[in-house]
Amino acid sequence: MAKQLDLEHRIIDLADKDPKFRSALLKDAKKAIEEKFDIRTPERLKIVVVEDTADTMHLVLPPVLSEGDVVAWT
């Protein structure tokens, strides 16, 4: 989980600094991340990016995992 959080922070930081990357994330997040960070993600992994606005805030809850469950990003 730590690696995922580190990558998330790097993505958010870059999106704050680079408007083109931010736009690409909103259009096709998986492609933008793979190209910018030169990584490949599991094919079954979907990446959804949403943008908060002045009057809308999004909260993301982590998955509820049972023993033996495997998440797509590991």
3-state secondary structure the chain: CHHHHHHHHHHHHHHHHCHHHHHHHHHHHHHHHHHHHCCCCCCCCCCCCCCCECCECCCCCCCCCCCCCCCCCC
Query: What is the gyration radius of the CA atoms in the chain, in angstroms?
Result: 13
Instruction: Using the predicted structure, report yes or no on whether residue 9 has a pLDDT greater than 70.
Output: yes
Tens of pLDDT, residues 15-68: 999 999 999 999 999 999 999 999 999 998 999 999 999 999 999 898 888 887
Report the alpha-carbon distance of residue 43 to residue 26 in Å, rounded.
Answer: 19
